[in-house]
Amino acid sequence: MRLQVAQPTPPASTQRRDALIDSHGRTMTDLRMSVTDRCNFRCVYCMEPDVKYLPKQSLLSLEEYVRLANIAHQLGVKKLRITGGEPTLYPDLDLLLEQVGEIGFDDIALTTNGTLLSDERCKRWKESGLNRITISLDTLDAKKKEAITRSFTPLDVVLRSVDMAKNAGLTPVKVNAVVMKGINDNEILSFAAFAQEFDIDMRFIEFMALDSGRAWSMESVVTAREMKQVIEREYELVREDDGPSSTSMNYRFANSTGRVGFIASVSESFCHGCNRLRILADGTVRPCLFSDDEWSVREVLRSGVSDDVVKQFLRDACFAKSAGHSMGQQDFLPPEKTMSTLGG
Ligand code: SAM
Ligand code: SF4
C-alpha cells in the first residue's frame, strides 16, 4: 500500500557522522525548505483550483524552521532554498531570511512566482543574506499566462520582479519555465531572446509527474534535448561547467549575455548525483521527490528533545533515501503529493 501521510520515525540507521549520507553513498548538502503550501496561482502543471491545503495548525513555526535549518547546517548542508507553495505568502518570511542568514550557509536562494516582490523587500532580503532568487515564468504571452497560472496577475508584474531582483543584487536571477507540449513549447526561442535581453539564466524544465491534475504523460514532455535543438537553430551555445550535483545542463550564448540551462529530470534523471533533502511546511522530511517515503519531524521537534536527537532523525531519514525514480518507465507511479506541497 502507498503511504499518504508521513510516518513517525524513519528506520534506524547506523549513521553517526555529522553528515547526511544515504545508503547509496550520496551526501545531502542541499536543503529545500518549504514554508507554506499556499499559493496565489494555480499553475496547470502544479496545483488544481480546488487543492486542499495542509491544516494551518500542522505547519511549523518560524522557530522550528530556523532550528531545522541550523541543525541541517551542522550536518553539512551548504545550500538552503526557501520554497513553497508561494513562499512570499509566508507571513514571517522576512524574519526567517534574517535568521537563516546568520547561520552561515554558503548559499541561500528563494523560488517564487514573482508576484509579491518589491524593491524594498528585495533589498532587505539581500541584506539578510539571501543570495539569489529564482522566478517562475512559463510564458511571455500575457493571455497565455492567465491560462497557465489560472490568475489575472499581469505579466508585467513578474517582469518587473526580475528587474527588482537584479537591481538588489540577488543574482544570478534564474527564470524557470516548465515546458509542456502544445502549450508553451512554441516559445522556447522567445525565452532564449528574453535571457539575452534581460541578462538572466533561463532554465527550461521538463514537465514532471508532480501535477495535482494528473495531466502529466510522457507525451506532454518536451525533452531537454529537443529544447536545446530548437535554440541551436538560432543561437550558438557554449557549454558551461556544471557543478557535480547540478541538476541543469548549462550554456552561455557565444555572442551575448544571458545563459540557458536545461533540467532533464525526466529524460536524463540525475538521481545518481542527487544531494537534495526536502522538508515540507508541516515538518515532513522527504528525501526524494518521487518516493512517498517520508517522516514527520514535527512531533520530535515539539517533544522537548535535544538537537542531537533531531540530528539522528534527519540522518536516519536521509539514509533511507530511495535510489531514484522510474518516470517514463512502465512501472512508474506518480507520487501521492504534488510539487506545491513538496516544494520545488
Ligand atoms: N511558487 C513558487 C514558484 O512557482 O516558483 C515556488 C514553488 S514551485 C512548486 C517551485 C518550482 O517547481 C517552480 O519553478 C515550478 O515551475 C516547478 N514545478 C511545479 N510543478 C512542476 C512540474 N509538474 N514539473 C516541473 N516543474 C514543476
Ligand atoms: Fe503556485 Fe509555484 Fe505551484 Fe505555480 S508552480 S501553483 S506559483 S506553487
Domain ranges (residues) in the chain? 30-342
Label residue 104 by pLDDT band (50, 70, 90).
very high
Lowest pLDDT segment from 27-31, 105-109, 328-332, 336-340: 328-332
Find the mean pLDDT for residues 118-124: 98
Label residue 3 by pLDDT band (50, 70, 90).
very low
User: Which residues make Cβ contacts (< 8 Å) with residue 163, sequence separation at least 6?
Assistant: 198
Domain 30-342, what fold? Answer: TIM Barrel (3.20.20)
Nearest CA to ligand 2 atom 4: 43
Q: What is the pLDDT of residue 214?
A: 79
Residue to substitute in 46, 148, 203 for testing ligand 2 pocket (most ligand atoms within 8 angstroms of CB): 46
What stretches of 201-343 show up as alpha helix (H) in DSSP?
Answer: 224-232, 298-301, 307-319, 339-342
Q: Which ligand is nearest to the CA of 136?
A: 1
Label residue 132 by pLDDT band (50, 70, 90).
very high
Find the mean pLDDT for residues 76-88: 97
Q: Is 113 in the pocket of ligand 1 (CB under 6 A)?
A: yes
Pick the atom of ligand 2 nearest to 113's CA: 7
**Closest Cα to residue 76, out of 22, 126, 17?**
17
Q: What is the pLDDT of residue 4?
A: 53
Q: What is the pLDDT of residue 272?
A: 86
Find the mean pLDDT for residues 44-61: 93
Q: Indicate if the pLDDT at residue 91 is higher than 50.
A: yes
Q: What is the pLDDT of residue 2?
A: 44
Q: What angle do CA 298, 325, 87 make, to 5 degrees?
A: 45
Q: Indicate if the pLDDT at residue 1 is higher than 90.
A: no
Label residue 242 by pLDDT band (50, 70, 90).
confident
Exposure string of 40-58, with b = 16+ CB inside 10 Å and e = fewer, is ebbbbbbbbeebebbeeee
pTM value?
0.94
Find the mean pLDDT for residues 9-30: 88
- Please give all residues whose beta carbon lies within 6 A of any atom in ligand 2, as ranges: 39, 41-43, 46-47, 84-86, 113, 136, 339-340
Q: Which ligand is nearest to the CA of 88?
A: 1
Pick the atom of ligand 2 nearest to 84's CA: 8
CA of 114 to the centre of ligand 1 (A): 12
Q: What is the pLDDT of residue 331?
A: 73
The pairing of strands 249-253 and 30-34 is: unpaired
Find the mean pLDDT for residues 301-330: 89
Distance between alpha carbon 92 and the CA centroid of its chain, in Å?
Answer: 19
Q: What is the pLDDT of residue 298?
A: 97
Element (H, E) at 196: helix 188-198
